[in-house]
Structure 1
Amino acid sequence: MVSRNILVINCGSSSLKFALVNPEQSQFAISGLAECLNTPQAVVSWKIGEDKNTLSIPSGDHKDALSKIMPLVQEICHGKLDGIGHRVVHGGHIFTAPTKITPQVLSEIERISPLAPLHNPAALQGMRAALDVYPDLLQVAIFDTAFHQTMPEQAFRYCIPEDYYSKHNIRRYGFHGTSHRYVSHQTAEFCNLPVDNSHWLTAHLGNGSSTCAVSNGKSVDTSMGLTPQEGVCMGTRSGDVDPGLFGHLSRVLGMSINEIENLLTKQSGLLGLSGLSNDMRTLEQSREEGHKGATLAIEVFCYRLAKSLASMACALPRLDGLIFTGGIGENSSLIRELTVSWLKLLGLEIDTQANTKLARGTAGLINKPNTPRIVVMPTNEERQIALDTLLFVK
């Protein structure tokens, strides 16, 4: 088999995360982050093995960052780079699979950018910068929303008049699709079950969190909606709130739409509940020290997560297991235990010893014998993006 090398790029408005992925190797040959782009503090940091390096690129933009990154990547892979895979958060209803980037595709991504005004314009910057640096290299867009395009209409429609859906595409799309897809497939293989005949609840937990029901390898429901704001409690995002809250805050406190959105996306969630931090590690430590806000934040997070998972179970014909993934899901035995404690009705029971002893970042079963599987499965979105990009390599 010919060895393949794919550069995976994930762009933010002022950042560019990258990793060189060879699907035959478990570790990234090089990975790193360009941050503070378009400011005097712009810098590129990268890691090769245990060797870490940093390069200042004052006022550099995405293209400048890539011009520094690409020679490093080409040196590592000896000039044999097969393509670039770009993470794109929102594909709307148009993009239901990985898509080779063309001028027409870029125009369409730009057209649907109002659906993800913070994310898609940044992805477009990265794609255009990469095309400027390597115009002849295969480049593929991988959409967070694509995996969820198999949801049935009863799962993705909002209870609002038809015109808002048919004319303005207002519906539930879901996110973290690359992660939910990867871990559900990996878990099926881990448990010696066929992907196309297995049924899972998945919980991707990090600063952004979501749940998903995966049936026969396909998403049939998920907690996030039109935007990544819907669903469970997150790091700084509120998740589900009464839609009437917008009108109430506007009428009673005189808050503007922008102020309300800022409140619910940047000041709420774990941060707002605890009054302390959006970092679960900090909150767990503070909980042990008796901090009431941290304790409450963790309790709400786990209860709402369990509530979401229970609702996702409605979409499955049977339950083959519950999967925890993401930074919190993979590393916090406390969050797993507290969440599962609310799911007794589904027959789920955690083995406290197995849960506590499972090494961080490793896959494992943590359920009690003769109860439904509870699996911790590390996600690897970069690897999945690389595999999807390789579909276009001849």
Structure 2
Amino acid sequence: MTTPVPESALPAAASHDFPMRRTCPFAPPQQYAEVRADEPVARVTLPTGKEAWIATRYEDVRALLADPRISADIREASFPAFSQAEHEIGAKLRPFLRTDAPDHTRYRKMLQPEFTLRKARAMRPAIQAIADDLIDDMLAQTGPVDFITYYANAMSTSVICVLLGIPAENLEFFRDVTRVSGSRTSTQDEMAAALGGLFKLISELVERRRAEPGDDLLSQLVTDHLIPGHLTHDELLSVIGITINGGRVSSTSMIALSTLLLLERPELMAELRDDPDLLPAAVEELLRVTSISDALPARVATADIDLPGGTVPAGDGIIGLLAGANHDPAVFADPERVDFHRADNRHMAFGHGPHQCIGQNVARLEVGIALETLIRRVPTLRLAVPYGEIEFMPDAHTFGVERMPVTW
């Protein structure tokens, strides 16, 4: 005779599809608030048909990302990837963001010296020069331009080139390649060709750095890790590829969304114009509000994990939603309000725990300089099309703006 399994012992049925879409680009999906109130750790169905869990409360997300019993290893069968292709390619290439210690620790230690606060501050003159040059180029145009092409993407790409030490003569090629590889409209052949060109360029630069190292991230990786044998050539290409993709996409999205928000809220733009000292706090608040990399913390529980909001069984995938955490009213009063005077803004836009974004110091500086220079030098900046015609990227891992025509 078979003993029936109590219902309480069965896994909860998924009651939501994930990802959920934003209805406002400056706020998380409306369903997050409903899930947070009714079932803060909820079971969902992914586009692959697999089931996983999402955490929507600040307390739960913070606890989850600091728990040593969760794995970021994309090779896990239950890893909550959004597509089968993402899972298969990730398992094959193993980007260091999707690995655990000791591999993740090894890669992070290699990169850490180039992403300190001191190193970021030393980049300020170079980043300021990039912003000024881009605005000069933009203002030289006679008609409306796409803000993404002329400023947001050009800015983030140029900063990555400075960080890596990519020569100025390769800049336009680099911008074109990353624009194609990061666009949702690119075909598979176009993307393959773009990435092939990118890795060919990096390989050539690696050989040049072997003979003539400079004061840049690529030289440091070649000199300190590739030549001594701590890193293979393919591993180096993977690390640089992740650095390029993560830095370019996230900074482009932050600059674009922040600018759009300020254009739509002229009183906030005026506040920053009247008091430039508010800018650092404004950047933190804009990071919190937009939370562009909401679903990046995808993990797998290696043991039963009891969170304040619910239990995640061992072997199940779980995603700690950064936008859910950053809009939790238990931590942020009136979370949808953009408040540049918000006290104790302990947002998690860059994640939390051992996988917290290593490039956050550079990102903060870059976004701050991009916005300050734009506000100061182009006071008449405005959208060249109705707000409803702005094109977003709702299905990307990093939420952002696809196209944004502006004039002045």
Tell me the TM-score normalised to structure 2 length. 0.24
Q: Which has the higher contact order (CA 8 A, sep 6+)?
A: 2
Higher helix share: 2
